Amino acid sequence: MRERALNKWLIGAPPLLYLVVFFAIPTLIMVAASFRYAGDFGGLAPVFERSEDGGTTLNLTLENYQRFFSDALYAQLFLKSFGYAVLTTVFCLLIGYPLAMLIARSPKRHRDLLVLLVILPFWSNFLIRVYAWMIILGPQSVFVAAFNSLIGLAGLQPMRLLFTPFAVVVGLVYVHLPFMVLPLYANLEKHDPALLDAAQDLGASAWQRFWRVTFPLSLPGVFAGGALVFIPAFGIFAIPDILGGTTGIMIGNVIKQQFLDTRDWPFGSVLSMILTLTAIALAAATAWYARRERALA
Amino acid sequence: MKRRSLWLWAAAVLAYVFLYAPLVIVVVYSFNDSRLNAQWVGFTLDWYRKLFADEEMLTAARNSLVIGLVASIVSTALGTMAGYAMYRYKLRLLPILVVAPIAIPEILMGVSLLIFFVGINLTLGLISITLAHIAFCIGFVAIVVRSRLAGMDESLVEAARDLGATPWGAFRLITLPLIMPGVIAGALMAFTLSIDDFVVTYFTAGADALTLPLKIYTMVKISVTPEVNAVSTLLMLLTLALIVVASRLAPGALRGR
């Protein structure tokens, strides 16, 4: 038994140590940074300040949080990012649900291939996938030309698509779609087809079979997929940075700005903290809801 | 029933088109003899030639490869240990620390590591990028290895122990060969994640270090030419090759994420 305990440490300690040093501690430092003052030349001011009479004072403050809550600009930005992430989640669900359903209902031997086809684009570089939309929505794009001549028929002025909130949401949906499809598929695949047959025998229409049997049963998958899409979409900065122009910026862009341009690290930390806490709260709420659903079922 | 599955098929085909058309467009325009990603003018390999004449691009590619190799080797060793420890022992902290970097918004890891590296006076550059990549790769390797262990027949290890193998001997001769496909799949996954990473790299790179994603980002932000398409196409080919190898070695491992 002694040997077992020793092995446990020999095997478990190196990765644990690495993750403590390069993940847990940096995260805690960031939490602490949100209560510190900004340095004179950016970065962080020292926590302890030696005064002239030899004593030291502790330099911590709530100012950064006050700044966040006193300026409506930041709350608006959070709300806007929240809205984009919600839209993204909804569109991923609308596009991903039929896809997941089709895969779950196709013959077993095809399923693995169909799932792989959903994952494959996800493994290509993230920037490439965003860049692709820059081409598609760009001013020289044949798609935009076609779109504009189409809305021209309806008497509308040609529209610019790139560097708009629309482009941001399209990019977000594109990048996050697999995160929605996979949990949905994992759920739908487990459904017992006999339930649908029973519903049909009892006279349920196709729509009723979907809305009253399949969909309620798939809710845990919907919530899991929703969380997997929403959380990364909420904090993203590269997509709005590339596709959003000035009107499409999100909270992630402001965090990036605080850290790399303005170099106000304490305030950047406050924004990151609030972002993360929101994400964790939502994930916890989703998990709680999913567990309750399961318990009720 | 028939009409309904037709409707489902149409929606699913559209979804697949949505997933693939953008990538196809990137590839097609990489062979287009025009500076603009608009009209098809004619076939050319010029953008690929430009790529291989671009010193900065070559440096970026070299950096990405070195970082990817080091990060995948170290994270595979640590991740395999973590996966094994999580499978074999009851642990409280490790499973949380393994999953947390995957679950939280990526930007958080980027900024916290930036503060951390500056705080310990480490010059930002290739080393800080590599250290950061290892941190987010460990979890992926650990998850793949653990799922492989879970599918292993435990009685084989017990038999080896009964026949007098030491715990280490049983691990080396029985467990390790059995989980090897998972370990290799994890390593390839780590390499892909490292070579593709943008967000964490962006925050931990400092002013001078350049990797392929950082270079692509600069080009996309400043001057878009089909050179971006060309490098993207090559990067996609590389990823695809790695995926094919990984899926041969450990079917199902790719669904780890």
- Cβ-Cβ contacts under 8 Å, B101 against chain A: 19, 23
Chain A residue with the nearest C-alpha to that of B207 = A260
Return d(Cα B91, Cα B89) in angstroms, integer: 6
Q: Check: CB of residue A240 under 8 Å from CB of residue A44.
A: no
Tokens 């800080």 belong to: B128
Q: Please check whether residue A17 lies inside any domain of the structure.
A: no
Q: Are the beta carbons of B138 and A129 separated by less than 8 Å?
A: no
Give, to the nearest 10 degrees, the angle between helix A126-137 and helix A165-188: 130
Q: Are the beta carbons of B81 and A99 separated by less than 8 Å?
A: no
For residue A258, the domain's CATH number is 1.10.3720.10
Domain span at residue A162? 71-296
Instruction: Return the pLDDT at B253.
Output: 52
What is the percentage of chain B residues whose pLDDT exceeds 90? 53
What is the percentage of chain A residues whose pLDDT exceeds 70? 98
- The predicted model scores a pTM of 0.88
Chain A residue with the nearest C-alpha to that of B29 = A135
Q: Please check whether residue A157 lies inside any domain of the structure.
A: yes
- Reported as half-sphere exposure (CB side, CA atoms, 13 A), residue B53 has a value of 7
Name the domain count of chain A. Answer: 1
Chain B residue with the nearest C-alpha to that of A245 = B221
Q: Where are the domains of chain B?
A: 47-256
**B115/A contact by beta carbon, under 8 A:** yes
Strands A48-50 and A56-58: antiparallel
Instruction: Return the pLDDT at B3.
Output: 54
Of B78, B103, B112, which has the smallest distance from its Cβ to A29's Cβ?
Answer: B112
Instruction: Return the pLDDT at A1.
Output: 59
Q: Which residues in A189-199 are b (16+ Cβ under 10 Å) and which e?
A: bebeeeebeeb
Q: Please check whether residue A236 lies inside any domain of the structure.
A: yes
* Three-state SS at B251: coil
Q: Compute the average pLDDT of residues A136-165.
A: 87
Q: How far is residue A115 from each of residues A103, A104, A122, A138, A179, measured CA to CA in Å?
A: 7, 9, 12, 31, 12
Please name the fold of domain B47-256: MetI-like fold (1.10.3720)
Q: The dihedral of CA A287, A293, A297, B1: what is its sign?
A: negative
Q: Among B230, B242, B241, B198, which residue's Cα sits nearest to residue B57? A: B230
> Which DSSP string do the residues of B10-66 spell out, in sequence order?
HHHHHHHHHHHHHHHHHHHHTTBSSSSSSS---B--HHHHHHHH-HHHHHHHHHHHH
Tokens 């001078």 belong to: B208
Of B26, B78, B84, which has the smallest distance from its Cβ to A132's Cβ?
Answer: B26
Best of B112, B197, B254, B255 to substitute, by most chain A Cβ atoms within 10 angstroms, is: B112
Report the DSSP beta bridge partners of residue A49: A57
Instruction: Return the pLDDT at A151.
Output: 87
Q: Are the beta carbons of B15 and A133 separated by less than 8 Å?
A: no
- Cβ-Cβ contacts under 8 Å, B185 against chain A: none
Instruction: Write the ipTM.
Output: 0.89
Q: What does the pLDDT look like over B32-86, one tens digit per residue?
A: 988 887 778 889 999 999 999 999 999 999 999 999 999 999 999 999 999 999 9
Instruction: Return the pLDDT at B257.
Output: 36
Give chain B's residues under pLDDT 50. Answer: 1, 254-257
